[in-house]
Amino acid sequence: MTGREFFTARTVAEALAGFRPDHRTPVEHVPLADALHRVPAAAVASPAPLPGFVKSTVDGYAVRAADTYGASDGLPSYLDLLGAVSMGAAPDVAVRAGGCVAMPTGGVLPDGADAVVMVEYTAETMPGTIEITRPVAPGSGLVRADEDVTAGAPLVPAGRPLRAPDLGLLAAAGVTTVAVHARPRVVIISTGDEVVPPSTVELLPGQVRDATASALAGLVTDAGGEPVVAGIVSDEPGVLKDKLAEVLPTADLVVVSAGSSVGARDETAGAVAAVGSVWCHGLAIKPGKPTLLADCGGIPLIGLPGNPLSALVVFGQVGIPLLWRLSGCEHPPPAPSTLARLSRDLASATGRLDVVQVQLRDGVAEPVFGPSALLSVLTRADGYLVVPEPATGLDAGTEVEVTLYR
Amino acid sequence: MTGREFFTARTVAEALAGFRPDHRTPVEHVPLADALHRVPAAAVASPAPLPGFVKSTVDGYAVRAADTYGASDGLPSYLDLLGAVSMGAAPDVAVRAGGCVAMPTGGVLPDGADAVVMVEYTAETMPGTIEITRPVAPGSGLVRADEDVTAGAPLVPAGRPLRAPDLGLLAAAGVTTVAVHARPRVVIISTGDEVVPPSTVELLPGQVRDATASALAGLVTDAGGEPVVAGIVSDEPGVLKDKLAEVLPTADLVVVSAGSSVGARDETAGAVAAVGSVWCHGLAIKPGKPTLLADCGGIPLIGLPGNPLSALVVFGQVGIPLLWRLSGCEHPPPAPSTLARLSRDLASATGRLDVVQVQLRDGVAEPVFGPSALLSVLTRADGYLVVPEPATGLDAGTEVEVTLYR
């Protein structure tokens, strides 16, 4: 029975390298306020240099630097105060030799000046005369007109989700809409005669509420996708196949959370084979072995194991990288992690990826064991560690990298 | 001038320990589908045990364990097949001594059975007779009715943002709405006569588009808040005070992005003092010294420096912890970070927190320098490191923890 089921088993590494659909979500234009974490479809070039004018970075006086050379507390330079620059306005006065103009931080450098002396090194000793006690070099106290960004230079790259400061730089350049890949629509189908909606108040014996769909929807949202919870279909032959045919035209990725029994898994595999081409059936991962990957006319499909814990682990390892790919994301956001010492020996099999849930206490990673039928194993964990495919296990005391849940 | 401005300067550590408003956002009930990363106002207790019935974790046969003792390939036990359990239904047959019942994974254990033998160790050698080649102990191949969660036990704790698997466990328990703290409404006011909206196509000399508000809105969203971009007010006396009085009744936190000139900063300080009590004016952080914290009738207010880079650094260090506090979040999500070697010496002043933007290459953290007037310093960085308040600097080659942007 199991022999038949795992007829084309693969490793996770093979799946990540080999199951790479060409499909990408379409490009859409979104306002800046909705662009956080969205993936630009192309680099955005700055239409103009930034800040766009020679700008003072200090409060003080615009000068010709040469007029300050040799100035000190003992032997100050004295310059004529010719006027003042207002914020947000063009200067109405130029600086000539022996003169200076009062400058606010962020003001436009007047013609004739090449530096700004900080107010701390000045005093208005007589009305109209400014005493300077420190020399400044040309270029001091200001930024060039294109020092932040030159015209045509990229403000943000393609393929990396936009971060908060990126939005600021785009705003500074006057870019108020961005061409981004649409969020992948991830259609989540639950199967299993025992599975009932979460809103079911009283369960009949043997019934379980659908936990996987809600948790998967959360993972999809976290990874920048748009979850579409498509409900529960029975294990009755043909029902899942019809559902798949119905949702495929609207989906960028289909996730089938299979029933936990062998019968339900066989039904899933049969339905998927009817609408697409199965790429693998069985994945060398623990938990999560009964995973199925298929290509349905260009739309990828993941058949997940029936146990919620296994399903979420597999989706994290295989589904989320797929989701990024579909949304054009070439530089996924980093995941929080920490180094810890393993509290006990962990056995594994060569060629299999083991994902072990752990609790962290004082720098020690303590595995949270329990049957993969238990969802609380996941909610009690602070994160997980991975025993890589080549390893046969990890010894107690090994330093391990724990990916943290957030 | 600067002496007057920093009349009540504090360290960041003092601000985090001492500026702790009691205000919390109200509690609201949200459906599970909208609860990701929301902060439960109280622990949620499970209304019933989970899974709620004794459940098989394997495909196989429900047995009395004693009937399998001593079974081996050479000397199997033979049991009468009494029937089969269907998924999602109560068993219609019990197990008696010498008998067994076919079980799917996830099925309800029939009365009389105390273990399930995996199908791999069985064969139906004659119709109606099952051969067993491995002994099982009582409790083998199943989970207890309350093994995932006991009745009344917490499904999720208070004060920790909900993660995807939490949503699954809540769904499994039939909890479809959660009492959470409302997202803090963070009103963002920009000031400065030079500041114009991002949508401004042609800038006049000296004008800059408002970069800070868009970037702050992104940081607020990331931290679970609801940004309310309230527009730009001029440096004209009285205008900011009126705006503050207008927005305070609707805000959980007010952020004023000050103009960059001393005049604008003085105007901000004066307006804030008129509507609230200034807790500090000047923070020992670089960049970000001209920061102001105030209590406006229980609503905290942050006056940020005029430079976008400084403003975003300060909001990250001081504003985001405040935002978590307002939303009842006692266990903030971990930030991604990595260890790296510092490429060069960094000087700092004792008692001052330095936040240094860095690029990462091959495990080396290279500081991204540039005037804090440049926003591109932030967008070019992969993350930042902190030189802690007691340190006078860091030597090249020091192992540093870099917090990564995402």
Distances, alpha carbon A25 to alpha carbons A28, A179, A180, A225, B38, in Å: 9, 12, 9, 11, 28
Residue contact B337–A336, C-beta within 8 A: yes
A99 backbone dihedrals φ, ψ, rounded to 5°:
-120, 170
**And the tokens for A93?**
């006065």
Rounded-to-integer distance, Cα B84 and Cα B110, Å: 9
**And the tokens for B263?**
């005049």
Distances, alpha carbon A90 to alpha carbons A93, B199, B359, in Å: 9, 21, 36
Which of A85, A106, A261 lies at the smallest CB-CB distance from B87? A261
Spatial CB neighbours of B255, under 8 Å, sequence gap ≥ 6:
B186, B187, B188, B189, B216, B301, B302, B304, B315, B319
Spatial contact of B17 and B11, defined as CB atoms under 8 Å apart: no
Which of A55, A174, A334 lies at the smallest CB-CB distance from B198? A174
Name beta bridge partners: A143. A55
| DSSP symbol at A318 | I
User: Following CA atoms B137, B143, B146, B149 in sequence, which dihedral angle do they give, to the nearest 10 degrees?
Assistant: 130
Q: Which chain B residues contact residue A208 at CB under 8 A?
A: 51-52, 88, 106, 172
Residue contact B215–A165, C-beta within 8 A: yes
Taking alpha carbons only, the member of B95, B2, B12 closest to residue B321 is B12
Residue contact A192–B120, C-beta within 8 A: no
Residue A7 — pLDDT band, cuts 50, 70, 90? low
For residue B260, what pLDDT is reported?
Answer: 66
Q: Which chain A residues contact residue B175 at CB under 8 A?
A: 198
Spatial contact of A30 and A38, defined as CB atoms under 8 Å apart: yes
Rounded-to-integer distance, Cα B218 and Cα B404, Å: 16
Q: Which chain B residues contact residue A260 at CB under 8 A?
A: 104-106
Residue contact B106–A262, C-beta within 8 A: no
Q: Which chain B residues contact residue A57 at CB under 8 A?
A: 371-373
Residue B268, SS3 per DSSP: helix
Rounded-to-integer distance, Cα B28 and Cα B183, Å: 10
Instruction: Return the axis-axis angle of helices A239-247 and A262-275, rounded to nearest 10°.
Output: 40
Q: Which residue of A has its CA nearest to B56?
A: A373
For residue B8, what pLDDT is reported?
Answer: 80
Q: Are strands A177-181 and A27-31 parallel, antiparallel or unpaired?
A: antiparallel
Q: Which residue of B has its CA nearest to A336?
A: B336
- Cβ-based neighbour number of residue B22 at 10 Å: 8
Rounded-to-integer distance, Cα B61 and Cα A398, Å: 40
**And the tokens for A202?**
């009283």
Residue contact B148–A374, C-beta within 8 A: yes
Residue contact B199–A210, C-beta within 8 A: no
Which of B120, B171, B211 lies at the smallest CB-CB distance from A168? B211
Residue reference for tokens 């920048």: A224
Residue B84, SS3 per DSSP: strand
**And the tokens for A347?**
């056995």
- Kindly calculate the radius of gyration of chain A based on its CA atoms and give it in whole angstroms: 31
Prior bond of A51 cis (ω within 30°) = yes
A377-390 pLDDT tens trace: 999 999 999 999 99
For residue A264, what pLDDT is reported?
Answer: 75
Residue contact A204–B89, C-beta within 8 A: yes
**And the tokens for A239?**
């029902």
Residue A1 — pLDDT band, cuts 50, 70, 90? very low
Prior bond of B287 cis (ω within 30°) = yes
Name beta bridge partners: B362. none
Which of A206, A371, A406 lies at the smallest CB-CB distance from B334? A406
Q: Which helix (H) or strand (E) holds A4?
A: helix A2-5
Residue contact B174–A336, C-beta within 8 A: no
Rounded-to-integer distance, Cα A80 and Cα A102, Å: 11
Spatial contact of B275 and B244, defined as CB atoms under 8 Å apart: yes
Spatial contact of B118 and B58, defined as CB atoms under 8 Å apart: yes
Taking alpha carbons only, the member of A402, A260, A266, A386 closest to residue A338 is A402
A43 backbone dihedrals φ, ψ, rounded to 5°:
-60, 145
Q: Which chain B residues contact residue A90 at CB under 8 A?
A: 204-206
Q: Does position A142 have pLDDT exceeding 60, yes or no?
A: yes
Distances, alpha carbon A292 to alpha carbons A6, A282, A283, B16, B58, in Å: 9, 6, 8, 49, 19
Rounded-to-integer distance, Cα A71 and Cα B289, Å: 28
Name beta bridge partners: A128. none
- Among B39, B57, B87, the residue to mutate for chain A (most A Cβ within 10 A): B87
Residue contact B167–A214, C-beta within 8 A: yes
Helix, strand and coil percent figures for chain A, each rounded to 5: 20, 35, 45
Strand locations in A127-273 (E): 129-132, 142-143, 154-156, 177-181, 185-191, 195-196, 208-209, 226-233, 253-257
A48-65 pLDDT tens trace: 999 999 999 999 999 999
Q: Which residue of A has its CA nearest to B376?
A: A148
Sign of torsion over alpha carbons B194, B196, B198, B199: negative
For residue B152, what pLDDT is reported?
Answer: 97
Cα of B275 to nearest chain A Cα, Å: 26
A68 backbone dihedrals φ, ψ, rounded to 5°:
-105, -10
Q: Which chain B residues contact residue A165 at CB under 8 A?
A: 215, 218, 312, 375, 378-379, 405
Rounded-to-integer distance, Cα B400 and Cα B403, Å: 10
A268-315 pLDDT tens trace: 889 999 999 999 999 999 999 999 999 999 999 999 998 999 999 999
Spatial contact of A226 and B33, defined as CB atoms under 8 Å apart: no
Q: Are strands A364-367 and A299-304 parallel, antiparallel or unpaired?
A: unpaired
> Is 0.80 topped by the overall pTM?
yes
For residue B7, what pLDDT is reported?
Answer: 61
Q: Which residue of B has its CA nearest to A221?
A: B36
The tens place of each residue's pLDDT in chain B, 406 residues long, gives 333 444 688 999 999 999 999 999 999 999 999 999 999 999 999 999 999 999 999 999 999 999 999 999 999 999 999 999 999 999 999 999 999 999 999 999 999 999 999 999 999 999 999 999 999 999 999 999 999 999 999 999 999 999 999 999 999 999 999 999 999 999 999 999 999 999 999 999 999 999 999 999 999 999 999 999 999 998 888 999 999 999 999 999 999 997 766 777 788 889 999 999 999 999 999 999 999 999 999 999 999 998 899 999 999 999 999 999 999 999 999 999 999 999 999 999 889 999 999 999 999 999 998 887 788 999 999 999 999 999 899 999 999 999 999 8
Q: Which chain B residues contact residue A193 at CB under 8 A?
A: 86-89
Instruction: Bin A230: left if φ > 0, else alpha if -120 < ψ < 50, else beta.
Output: alpha
Rounded-to-integer distance, Cα B255 and Cα A239, Å: 54
Rounded-to-integer distance, Cα A321 and Cα A339, Å: 23
Q: How far is CA B105 from the centre of its chain?
A: 35
For residue A326, what pLDDT is reported?
Answer: 98
For residue A260, what pLDDT is reported?
Answer: 66
Residue contact A168–B375, C-beta within 8 A: yes
Spatial CB neighbours of B7, under 8 Å, sequence gap ≥ 6:
B281, B282
Q: Which residue of B has its CA nearest to A311?
A: B165
Residue contact A88–B215, C-beta within 8 A: no
Residues in chain A, total: 406
Rounded-to-integer distance, Cα A406 and Cα B141, Å: 33
Structural domains of chain B, with CATH: 2-25+182-326 (3.40.980.10), 27-47+156-181 (3.90.105.10), 55-143 (2.170.190.11), 337-404 (2.40.340.10)
Q: Does position A122 have pLDDT exceeding 50, yes or no?
A: yes
Q: Which chain A residues contact residue B375 at CB under 8 A?
A: 50, 148, 165, 168-169, 172
Q: Max Cα separation, chain B?
A: 99
Prior bond of A40 cis (ω within 30°) = no
**And the tokens for B194?**
């030079």
Rounded-to-integer distance, Cα B137 and Cα A214, Å: 35
Cα of A188 to nearest chain B Cα, Å: 13
**And the tokens for B10?**
């504090």
**And the tokens for B106?**
């996830």
Cα of A291 to nearest chain B Cα, Å: 16
Rounded-to-integer distance, Cα A34 and Cα A183, Å: 12
Rounded-to-integer distance, Cα A282 and Cα A279, Å: 10
ipTM of the complex: 0.94
Which of A90, A169, A405 lies at the smallest CB-CB distance from B205? A90
More confident position, B194 or A7: B194
Q: Are strands B208-209 and B253-257 parallel, antiparallel or unpaired?
A: unpaired
- Kindly calculate the radius of gyration of chain B based on its CA atoms and give it in whole angstroms: 31
Q: Which helix (H) or strand (E) holds B271?
A: helix B262-275
Residue contact B261–A107, C-beta within 8 A: yes
More confident position, A231 or A373: A231
Residue A104 — pLDDT band, cuts 50, 70, 90? very high
Spatial CB neighbours of A163, under 8 Å, sequence gap ≥ 6:
A36, A37, B218, B379, B405, B406
Spatial contact of A132 and A63, defined as CB atoms under 8 Å apart: yes
Q: Which residue of B has its CA nearest to A200?
A: B174
- Among B39, B124, B155, B163, the residue to mutate for chain A (most A Cβ within 10 A): B163
Cβ-count burial of A132 within 10 angstroms (0-12 exposed, 13-18 middle, 19+ buried)? buried
Rounded-to-integer distance, Cα B226 and Cα B37, Å: 13
Which of B169, B209, B263 lies at the smallest CB-CB distance from A379? B169
Q: Which chain A residues contact residue B89 at CB under 8 A?
A: 193, 204-206
Q: Which residue of B has its CA nearest to A312?
A: B165
Q: Are strands B299-304 and B208-209 parallel, antiparallel or unpaired?
A: unpaired
Rounded-to-integer distance, Cα A233 and Cα A189, Å: 7
Residue contact B36–A222, C-beta within 8 A: yes
Q: Which chain A residues contact residue B88 at CB under 8 A?
A: 192-196, 204, 206-208
Sign of torsion over alpha carbons A240, A245, A248, A253: positive
